[in-house]
Copies of this chain bind each other. A is one copy, B any other.
Amino acid sequence: MTAIDATSLTSLLDGRYAGVRQDVRKALAERADLLDEVEELPRAEYRERVREVLLDVSASGLTGLGFPKEYGGGGDVGASIAAFEEMAGGDLSLLVKSGVQFGLFGGAILQLGTERHHDRYLADIVAGRLLGCFAMTEHGHGSNVAAVATVATYDPATHEFVIETTREDAYKDYIGNAACHGELAVVFAQLVVGGEERGVHALVVPIRVDGTAAPGVRIEDDGPKMGLNGVDNGRLWFSGVRVPRTSLLNRFADVTEAGEYVSEIESAGRRFFTMLGTLVQGRVSVGGAAIRASEVALTIAVRYALRRRQFEASSDAEESLLLDYGQHQRRLLPLVARTYAMRFAQEVVRDDLHDVFSGVSTSEHARRELESRAAGTKALATWHATRTIQECREACGGAGYLAVNRFTALKADTDVFTTFEGDNTVLLQLVAKGLLTGYSSEFEEMDQLDLVRFVAGLAVETVLERTAVHKLLERVRDVVPIAGEREPDILDSDYHLTMLRFREEHMLAGVARRLQSGVKAGREPGAVFSTVQDHVIGVAHAHVERLIHEAFRAKVRELPEGAVRDLMDLLCDLSALSVIEADRAWFMEHGRLSSERSKAIIAEVNRLCRELRPHARLLVDGFGVPEELLRAEDLLG
C-alpha cells in the first residue's frame, strides 16, 4: 500500500461539510483550556462557564446553521448536524447545552411553531440572547411521551391556556437549561379544549423572569449528575400558569379564539407522531456526537498503544509495544473499523435528514424511513460509544483513570446518550415496528398491543413482502450460502452483505410467526409481546447492522482505485466480519455457517487486525481530532 496522508482520510470522513467541521475544530482548539478548567470547577461555576463559552461560540454562527437565514441562521440543516457532531470533540456539557438551546428548544419553535413564533423568538434564540428549555420528559414518563400528565386547558373566557401539573410524578424532569438559565420552555402537555382531550401539544411558557421562577412555576435543580455537570438540568412544576392562546405552537394544530380545535391532520395519533417527528434531528445529532466521542477515545488509546511498552514478548532485550500484542489489536482495531463504518452510516442518515427537512424529499414514507433510520443509528452509535470508551480506558490502564487523560469526562458525559433523545431499547422497538408494518401510515398510531394484533392479522409473507430487504434479497438469494456448501470468498463484500440481509429477513419472519402463533394460541397480546421482545429488539439490531454495512460498502465503491480505497476495503471487511463473528452462533443455528467456516471467520478477523496494525496511527489520525483536544500528554508522549 502506498503511503497515505492522514488528511486524505479526514477529507473522506468530513465529506461535504469539511469547511464547517474545520471551523468547529478550530473553535474548539482555541477554547481547549475549557477542558482543563472545568475539571476542578464547582458545579455552579461550571454551568456559568459553559454558558459563557456557548454564547461566545454562537457568535461565530456555528451553532445556528440549521435556522433560516432571515433569523441569523445558516439555512443548512445538514451542516448544522455536522457542526454539532464535531463539537463532541470538546467539552460535552458545551455540546449538550448547545443541543438543548439550538436543537431542542430552538428546533421546537422552528418546527412546531409558525411565523408568529419565528418572528418573535428565533433571532434571539439563534443569537443566544434568549435561552430556553424543551420540557417534554416527565418524571413518571420518560419514553412514553404520549402518556404525559401535564395538562393545558383552554379558557375561552380569557383566550388563555392554563397549564397544570396534574399528578405527583408529572413534573418535567431532567430538563436542560431549567435549573438556571432558561427563560422560556416549550412545554408538552395534554391539550384540553372545550372539555375534550386532544392529545399532546407544545406551548411556549415563560418559566423565569429576571432570574426567578415565573408565577405558578416551581423549579428545582436536578443536582449533581454522573456527567454533563456543566448543563443545568432541572424540574418544573406548573400550577395554574396562564399563557395566551397564541403560545400554542400551531403548525400542526390550533385553537381558535372561540375555542375551536382545528388541525389538518385528522388522527390524533398521527398528529402526535408528526410532532414527535421533529425529534428526529435530536436523535441524528446525538448519534453523530457519540461517534465523535468514540473517535477521541480511540485516538488516545491507539496512540498510547503505539508508545507504551510492557513485558518482553518479541525479544528478550526489549519490551513490546502494546499494539504488537494480538489481544490488544483485537481490543482496539475492530472498534476503529466499526467507528469508520458508523461514520459513513451517520453520513447517510444526516443526508436523509437534510433532504427531508429541506424539502428535497417530501414523501411521508421517506420521513418514516428517516425516523426509523435515525432511531436505529442513534441506538447503535451510542452503545458503540459506551463500549468503545470503556475499552479504551481499560486499554490505557491506570493512566486512563486520571481525569487529565480525558476518559473520565468522555465516559461520564456520554453515558446518558444511550438514554436521552429516546431510550435505546425503546428506539429499537420503534425500528422493528417500522419493519413489521412496512412503514405504513397506520403504524405511527400503533402501540405495542396494536402492533401485535396488526401483525397477527397478516400472513408472514405479507409482512416480508412489504420490506425492502425482501426485495433486495430476492435478487441475491442465490448467493446466500448454505452451511458447508459453496463457500464464497471470506472477504467477498457481497457475501457479507448477503449474510446480513439473510439474517434480517429471517429474523423478521420469525418475529411475525411468533407473534401470530402466540395470538392464535389465545394468549394475551401483551404477554405475547413480552415473550417475543428479545426477537423484536434482535431484528431491529440486525436491520441497522445491515444499513451500517451497506453505507460503508457504498462509500468504498465510490472511491477511486488506489491506496485509500484499498485501506477502506480492509476496514470494511474487518467491520463486517466482526459483526458476523459476534453473531456467528445465530448463523450456525440457522444453517448459514458451518463450524469450520465460523472458525475461519475468527481467524480472518485476527489476520485483518494484524494486516491493519501498521496503519493504526494513520487511521486514528484520519479522525482529525486536534492535538489541543486530546490532552493526555502523558499518554501520547
Q: Which of chain B's residues has its CB closest to A393's CB?
A: B415
A563–B284 Cα gap in the complex (Å)? 51
How many monomers of this protein are in the complex? 2
A168 to chain B, nearest CB (A): 11
Q: Does A316 contact B (CB under 8 A)?
A: yes
A610–B530 Cα gap in the complex (Å)? 10
**A contact patch SS:** helix
Q: Does A225 contact B (CB under 8 A)?
A: yes
Contact B226 A530 (CB under 8 A): no
Contact A526 B225 (CB under 8 A): no
Partner of A591, one of B423, B584, B585, B595: B595
Partner of A423, one of B143, B316, B397, B449: B397
Q: Does A407 contact B (CB under 8 A)?
A: yes
Q: Does A448 contact B (CB under 8 A)?
A: yes
A330–B327 Cα gap in the complex (Å)? 29
Q: Does A173 contact B (CB under 8 A)?
A: yes
Knowing A310-B141, A394-B418, A447-B311, say if A534 contacts B595 (CB, 8 Å). no
A147–B397 Cα gap in the complex (Å)? 17
Tally A residues with Cβ within 8 Å of B.
81
- Chain B residue contacts of A488, Cβ below 8 A: none
A399 to chain B, nearest CB (A): 8
Q: Which of A54-62, A197-205, A317-325 contacts B (4 or more CB under 8 A)?
A: A317-325
Q: Does A522 contact B (CB under 8 A)?
A: no
- Chain B residue contacts of A531, Cβ below 8 A: 326, 606, 610
Q: Does A598 contact B (CB under 8 A)?
A: yes
Instruction: Tell me the chain A residues, 379-412 only, with Cβ under 8 Å from chain B.
Output: 386, 390, 393-394, 397-404, 407-408, 411-412
Q: Which of chain B's residues has its CB closest to A606's CB?
A: B534
Contact B225 A397 (CB under 8 A): no
Contact A222 B402 (CB under 8 A): yes
Knowing A173-B398, A313-B448, A591-B595, say if A324 contacts B530 (CB, 8 Å). yes
Q: Does A537 contact B (CB under 8 A)?
A: yes
- Chain B residue contacts of A139, Cβ below 8 A: 399
- Chain B residue contacts of A226, Cβ below 8 A: 393, 401-403, 407-408, 411-412
Give a binary string over A342-379; 1 marks a CB under 8 Å from any B CB, 0 the rest: 00000000000000000000000000000000000000
A524–B611 Cα gap in the complex (Å)? 18
Q: Does A588 contact B (CB under 8 A)?
A: yes
- Chain B residue contacts of A142, Cβ below 8 A: 310, 397-398
Q: Which of chain B's residues has its CB closest to A582's CB?
A: B585
Q: Which of chain B's residues has its CB closest to A423's CB?
A: B397
- Chain B residue contacts of A606, Cβ below 8 A: 531, 534
Q: Does A312 contact B (CB under 8 A)?
A: yes
Q: Which of chain B's residues has its CB closest to A407's CB?
A: B226
Contact B174 A398 (CB under 8 A): yes
Q: Does A5 contact B (CB under 8 A)?
A: no
Q: Does A266 contact B (CB under 8 A)?
A: no
Q: Does A260 contact B (CB under 8 A)?
A: no
A227 to chain B, nearest CB (A): 8
Partner of A224, one of B141, B393, B408: B408
- Chain B residue contacts of A527, Cβ below 8 A: 314
A397–B530 Cα gap in the complex (Å)? 19
A485 to chain B, nearest CB (A): 15
- Chain B residue contacts of A524, Cβ below 8 A: 314-315
- Chain B residue contacts of A143, Cβ below 8 A: 310-311, 397
A412–B410 Cα gap in the complex (Å)? 12
Give a binary string over A147-176; 1 marks a CB under 8 Å from any B CB, 0 the rest: 100000000000000000000000001100
The 4 tightest CB contacts between A and B, nearest first, are: A314-B526, A585-B585, A224-B403, A226-B408
Given A224-B402, A312-B447, 19 more A-B residue pairs with CB atoms under 8 Å apart are A40-B43, A223-B403, A223-B404, A226-B402, A227-B401, A313-B449, A313-B529, A314-B527, A314-B530, A325-B533, A390-B390, A394-B419, A400-B419, A401-B416, A401-B419, A411-B411, A411-B412, A584-B585, A585-B585
- 20 A-B pairs with CB atoms under 8 Å apart are A139-B399, A142-B398, A144-B319, A222-B402, A224-B403, A226-B408, A311-B448, A312-B448, A312-B449, A312-B526, A313-B448, A313-B526, A315-B526, A320-B530, A326-B530, A327-B534, A386-B390, A412-B412, A534-B606, A589-B599
